[in-house]
Structures are given as C-alpha cells and as structure tokens.
Amino acid sequence: MTASEQESTRSSSAADRRSLPGWAAAALRGLGWLGGLALAGLVSLLLVVGVALAVAYPQLPEIASLTDYRPKLPMRVFSADNVLLGEFGEERRNFTPIGRIPQVMKDAVLSAEDARFYEHGGVDFKGVARAALENLRDARSQGASTITMQVARNFYLSTEKTFTRKIYEILLALKIESLLTKDQILELYMNQIFLGQRAHGFASAAEIYFGKKLQDVSIAEAAMLAGLPKAPSSFNPIVNPKRATQRQRHIIERMFENGFITEKQHEEALAQVLRYRTQSEVAVHAEFVAEAARQLVFAQYGEDSYTRGLNVYLTVNAADQAVAYRALRRGLMDYELRQVYRGPEAYIDLPADPQLIDERVAEALGEHPNNDDLLAAVVLEASPRKVVAMLQTGETLTATGEGLRPVTSGLSEKAGPKIQIRRGAVVRVMRNARGTWFLTQLPEVEGALVALDPKTGAVRAMVGGFDYAKNKFNHVTQAWRQPGSSFKPFIYSAALEQGFTPDTIVNDAPLFFDAAETGSQPWEPKNYDGKFDGPMPLHTALARSKNMVSIRVLRAIGPDTAQQWIGRFGFEAEKHPAYLTMALGAGSVTPLQMASAYGVFANGGYRVGPALIARLTDNKGKVLLETRPPVLDESLRTLDARNAFVMGTLLQEITRSGTAAKAQATLKRPDLYGKTGTTNDSMDTWFAGYHPSLVAVVWIGYDTPKKLGDRETGGGLALPVWIELMQHALKNVPVEEPTPPEGVVNVGGQWVFDEFSGGRGISSVGLEDKVPGAPNPEERNSILDLFRR
C-alpha cells in the first residue's frame, strides 16, 4: 500500500468517525470489542463510565491552548562567555508544522507509540484491555496510552500514576478528539514531547542527536528518535546505546509489520550504523543563576519575557560556575559521608528471570532520577562485604571494602527493615577519583556559594543549593541565616573608628548577662573551644575568633553605634537588633548580602551592589538593556580607605595563622583575606573571604536549622569549598597586596590610624575581669608588656 493510499484510508476513517461525537464513537467501538464479556461485567463498566462522564466531563479544562497552538520564542540565558545556561518559555523547541514532518518520522512514531492512532477515537479500548490483562499477569506497569492521551497528559495533567488521573486522561482525550483532527493532534504531540538532552519535539531532537534537519533523517534514525518518548533517560542513545538500540530495532520491526517500509528498507535500517552528533560543550550547572535572571527579566517584561525571544547575557563566567558547582557538591557530599545512613530510597520486587531484570530496573529508576554524578541503582546482591547493583544504563557495578563504609549500618544483620540494604533496594552510588564505586545517600544538608567582582559587583558564580531539581530554593538570595563569627569584622570595623587598634588588649574572660542586656533571656556565652585565654591583642582575638573579646568590644562601643555602622555595608538594621548578641552574628543575612558586604573591604571602601545581567537583546540582536560597570568614585564610598585597609590586615592574619590558616597554606599566596563563621550549636557554618579581584562566600547548614555536629565548623566545612573555587579563579593571577592609604602608620608590625598611634587609642578593655586560673596581676602585667613590644 502506498503512502497516499494509507493517507486516504486514514482520512476516510476519520471522516466516518466525525459523524458521531468523539466519545460516542469510541464507546461504540469499545462495546463491539467487549461484546464477548459477561453481561454483569459490561453493566458494571457502563455504570462506572457513565458516572465518570456525568461527574468529571463537565469539569474538564478548556483546551483553547490546543486549538490555538502558537509556538513562542523562549527567553535564552547565556553566560558572559556565551555558553547557554537555560531557556524559559512555553515553547523550547523548533516548531514544525505537520505538513513538513517527513512521513518516515510519523510512521516511526505511530509504530512506536500508537499504531491504531488513525483508527481509534482517542482511547484504544483494545490496548487498555490488553494492558489490564498484562498487569494482572505480571504486576508490571503497562502503558496503553494513545498519542491523544499523551497530549492530554503533557498539556494538562500530572504524571502521577493514579486511577483518578487516568480517568481524566481518558475523558480529556475524548474531548480533544472531538475538537481536533488527527493531524492536528499528531502535530501537537510531535512538537511537544520531551526527548532527552534538553530536546522538546522531534525537530529539536534530530538536531541534538544527529546534527540533522528533521527532513533529512533516515528510517533507522527516525526509529531511534521514536523510541525516546517512552523513557527519554532509559532509551537515550548517548547515555545508554545498548538499550536504545534494542528499542530502535523493535520499532523498525513494527514499521515493517505495519507496512510502512519494504523488506529491503527494513534490512537496510537494521544494518545502518548511526553516527551521533559530538557534544561540543560540557553542560554547565547554572540552574539557580538562570532562574535568578528569569525573575529579574520577568519583573521588567512580565509574560512577554517568554514569547519575545529575549537573549539574556549574564556576568557569570561558565568556567567559574562549573568549578563552584563541583566544589559545593563535593563539600556537601564529604559531610554526608560522615553521617548516619538513613536507609534505601525504596524497595522493588525483582523478577526471578535474569532476562527481565534490566527492564524492571529501568522502569523503577525512572522514579529515582540520577542526581548528576550521584547515581541511582538497584541492588542485585548484598552482603556486609560486597554489594552488586545495576544502574539506569543497565551497567552493573560492585562496591567492596571502603566503598561500603558509609552504609555499614545498612548492611548489618541487625539493620531494621527500613534501613537494610538487600536485593531490590534503591540506593545511591558514586565513583571517586580512583574509579572506585561507593554507596552513599542523597544529602539532607544544604549549602550556597556566591562569588562576585568587588569592583563591579558582577556575579561570577552562584550555586544556590545541592541540586536545583531536588530543591529550587536559592540559598544564595533567599536563605536568611545567622552569620555567626563571620559577622565579627563589621563590629571590629566600627571599633576602629572609636579608638580601638589591632594592638588594643582585650580580656578573654567569662561573661554573664541578664535579660535586660540581651533583649531576651539570661546569657552566658562561651568560646567555641570552651576555654578562656585571658588578655590578648585585638588582632589575635579576631584571628582565633574569641567570642568574649568580640562581646567586650561591642559593649565598649555600644550596640546602637554598631547597628548604625553595619548599614554602611548594606545590612538591614531591623535584622540585627542592638543587643550584645550582635557581636556573635545573631542577626540574619543572606550569602549574597555577605558577599557584597565583604566586597567593601576588598575594594577599598566602596559600596557596590551585585549585578547579574550584563545586557539584554531581542531575537534580532537589538540591545534593550546594558549594564555598565560602576566608576569607583567618592559618591560610592561608604568606608574610609584606611578602615578597609586595616581590616584587610586583620582578615589577612586569619588566613595566615588563624582559623582559616589552611587558605594561605594551600594556595601558597599571601593576598587572601577572610573570616570563618560557626553559629551556636554549629547550626550554620560560613567562610566569607576575598582576593582583591574576587569575593566569595560559602554557607552550609540544614534548611530546618539543626546541629551539624559538635566538630563541624566554618573552617572545616565551608573553607575547603572556598579554597577549591579560589584555586581555579586565581590560577595565573599575580599576587596583589594593597598600598597603605593616607592616615595610617605601622607600629610594631600593625597598622594603626594616625590619631590613635603612640598610645592615644584605647589601650585595653576588661582587664579587671577575672579569668579562672589566670595569672596574678604582676604576671599579667609581664604578659601585657610582651604584647606591647
């Protein structure tokens, strides 16, 4: 039968059906086929269908978006170096009218998804009955969704597998069939369906997989593309060529059986070796960045943002972004490996027949997608010494020895039923740098990393959490958390203006405050290590993050003064109540806020707001918006250059010999500045630091605040992430240390404001307070003399 004869037959069948309403024609065909069933069953079925029609049909959504389907140009987001980071819009595809879709592609899709498409009225009752019988036989999910039902689901319904959703899917399919022609429905399907690799619709898929126009695909290539809708991840030829080829060959057979291709074409298609397009770029995980840009553009252009073909060019550097993403994930996973194993994500029944295991695993893992390099797997064999598991790709892996340490409790004979790793368990696996497989789990802990240029405010990298697909909350911009000790530099900055110097001696002795002084309840603060070391210079106290010293400094200058001062850095006064707890960072900040604030120290005292969008163009390249870097002049100055400089020397000491000494030791350069932060009970850990050319802030904690662990600190958790980013960002960047500005003098190796040199500043604070086990007054004076030399 020729293609024109086939088309004539289809059109004739469609015309016959249009003489009746779509749902009535479908019901009549269903009744004819079910005539052999018992009368009681038929009556029951009719009653159920009747009730469903009466109750649900009037509540079905309007389908105007289908009858007036207009492709719209998406918003596209690019990095500063022109790497595509994301697309937003109702259509992310190369829309192709049905008349321009080659017949071979249509035939392949019909053979794969719905061979009776031109014969049924939206619901293939034969297929439904067949799937029901199969489900009763082996309890595995069977499809029976027609192309029309898939259109209904993709446009209007969720993907959850419930009886109610299936009823709505059937009814909506019947409604669609009554309003649209078969060709219109097929056109919608072939432009709408997701096909993996960011491809929506077969025209986009042809270009992404084969680098071809859809009109140029061969029978073998069309069959491969037609195999993707069933499971884009499982049958992706780039990710799983073996399974994809099996699916492709099945579709070629179906095309031959349906009379769409000749025997010669069938043999040639089976013999053709497919050549896939080389993936020229590595995917950059910038989902949080792209979403932040989308929100900014939407605020300006509203719904038109998704239809005008806007191109958004960001300040983000793709390479920096990629490193930031990996660094944060590595930091969070390293922490997760130290946590108690919480058990498999699910358990599935595996068939006894080894030939059926691959398909069952692929089906099960469809509900547990891979999380980048954190892969989902189904356990085939488990013992305390060895675990064998299968991945979504069909590959099997074996984990032994060290690879089982993170899940030891789950492999114990005493493990509870919800914790035990056994055959059929869905687990997570990763491969380390040596290629060794190890079992782990999806982290519950979250994090954030943001880096920006302190002179321009340009955001260079932004990672808002462990995984955007898992949690879309952007912790860089939305997470208001306590900054802990990373906030202390802003208190010290205020103190410098009040007469404090790096050599001011402050007593690290116990303190107790009543409710009137704290604003809430009595408070007896502690140092992180639980020790009190007595009098010490201010610069030493900051390097060692001594809480008692910070509190005494704040009490000396006054909480109200400090609250007013921190506004210079962009902090909101109401989020930092004027109580002594402010000295320990008890207020609320976001990581982006902290990055901008530390940028004031880094750029010499200028307040520069963060910038994400460099320029915006329309689909023809016309520039609609361009952001020019600010000029650092006195109109932007918020802090004296000498204050920023002296604070820089204090922050540099922290990375040289203090709580962040690992920074200079690892990166082998002196021009690094920053402060660790760990809040009360280790609920939030931070590192905020900078090089004169780049500020970066890292935060790690739980969304619902809880203890990270007694030994977890900003220096241990957040600092390594910061170092990994800086190792990349500062490669080949020469050492850059600032020139001392006017108004400062070096006294004994410490920089001091001119007017506070020669003993004219505050010499000491709190020396009258007793430290348990401290030396007597004579011994203490001898120690102070050493500090002053």
Give me the phi and psi of 677, to 5 degrees please: -150, 130
Q: Is the CB of residue 155 less than 8 Å from the CB of residue 3?
A: no
Is the pTM higher than 0.85? no
Residue with the larger pLDDT of the pair 585 and 283: 585
Give residue 433's pLDDT: 85
Q: Which of 173-182, 330-339, 745-754 has the lowest mean pLDDT?
A: 173-182
Residue with the larger pLDDT of the pair 15 and 356: 356
Q: Give 665-674 pLDDT, tens digit per residue.
A: 999 999 999 9
Q: Give 294-329 pLDDT, tens digit per residue.
A: 999 999 999 899 888 899 999 999 999 999 999 999
For residue 742, the tally of other CB atoms under 10 A from its CB is: 8
Q: How confident is the model at residue 277 (pLDDT cuts 50, 70, 90)?
A: confident
Q: How confident is the model at residue 48 (pLDDT cuts 50, 70, 90)?
A: low
Q: Give 470-489 pLDDT, tens digit per residue.
A: 899 999 999 999 999 999 99
Which of 130-144, 196-210, 266-280, 566-580 shows the highest mean pLDDT? 566-580
Average pLDDT over residues 205-217: 91
Which of 33-37, 70-74, 322-326, 528-532 shows the highest mean pLDDT? 322-326
Q: Which of 90-99, 526-535, 769-778 has the lowest mean pLDDT?
A: 769-778
Cα separations in angstroms, 280 against 208, 260, 283, 371: 11, 35, 10, 22
Q: Give 407-451 pLDDT, tens digit per residue.
A: 999 999 999 999 999 999 999 999 988 899 999 999 999 999 999
DSSP lists the bridge partners of residue 388 as 381, 398
For residue 396, give the nearest of 354, 432, 433 by alpha carbon: 354
Q: Give 567-623 pLDDT, tens digit per residue.
A: 999 999 999 999 999 999 999 999 999 999 999 999 999 999 999 999 999 988 999
Give residue 7's pLDDT: 47
For residue 701, give the nearest of 405, 430, 484 by alpha carbon: 484
Average pLDDT over residues 87-102: 79
Give residue 66's pLDDT: 66
Residue with the larger pLDDT of the pair 185 and 24: 185
Is it the case that residue 781 has pLDDT exceeding 90? no
Is it the case that residue 61 has pLDDT exceeding 70? no
Catalytic member of 79, 145, 178, 485: 485
Q: What is the DSSP letter of 18?
A: T
Give me the phi and psi of 153, to 5 degrees please: -65, -45
Q: Give 388-405 pLDDT, tens digit per residue.
A: 999 988 999 999 999 999
Average pLDDT over residues 264-273: 96
Q: Is 485 one of the annotated active-site residues of the chain?
A: yes
Residue ranges of alpha helices (H) inside 707-753 are 719-729
Average pLDDT over residues 735-762: 95
Average pLDDT over residues 368-382: 94
| % pLDDT > 70, the chain | 84
Give residue 784's pLDDT: 45
Is it the case that residue 15 has pLDDT exceeding 50? no
Residue ranges of alpha helices (H) inside 673-738 are 719-729
Residue with the larger pLDDT of the pair 620 and 28: 620
Q: Give 456-467 pLDDT, tens digit per residue.
A: 999 999 999 999
For residue 394, the tally of other CB atoms under 10 A from its CB is: 16
User: E strand or H helix at 148, and its extent?
Assistant: helix 147-156
Burial of 539 by CB count in 10 Å (0-12 exposed, 13-18 middle, 19+ buried)?
A: buried
Is it the case that residue 639 has pLDDT exceeding 70? yes
Give residue 170's pLDDT: 86
DSSP lists the bridge partners of residue 675 as 688
Q: Is the CB of residue 328 less than 8 Å from the CB of residue 721?
A: yes
Tokens for 113, please give them.
Answer: 């998804």
Give me the phi and psi of 764, to 5 degrees please: -160, 160
Average pLDDT over residues 278-294: 79
Q: Which of 99-108, 724-733, 768-777 has the lowest mean pLDDT?
A: 768-777
Is it the case that residue 240 has pLDDT exceeding 90? no
Is it the case that residue 331 has pLDDT exceeding 90? yes
Q: Give 140-187 pLDDT, tens digit per residue.
A: 444 568 999 988 887 776 556 667 777 878 888 888 898 899 999 999
Tokens for 606, please give them.
Answer: 């200028």
Q: Is 113 one of the annotated active-site residues of the chain?
A: yes
The distance of Cα 167 from the centroid of its chain, to the nearest Å, equals 34
Residue with the larger pLDDT of the pair 29 and 309: 309
For residue 654, give the nearest of 484, 502, 736, 540 by alpha carbon: 540
Residue with the larger pLDDT of the pair 769 and 508: 508
Average pLDDT over residues 560-573: 98
Q: Is the CB of residue 630 less than 8 Å from the CB of residue 636?
A: yes
Q: Which of 194-208, 240-254, 397-411, 672-686 has the lowest mean pLDDT?
A: 194-208
Average pLDDT over residues 700-709: 96
Residue with the larger pLDDT of the pair 519 and 471: 471
Q: Give first-to-last CA distance, the chain, whole Å.
A: 103
Catalytic member of 91, 113, 177, 712: 113
SS3 (DSSP) at 274: coil
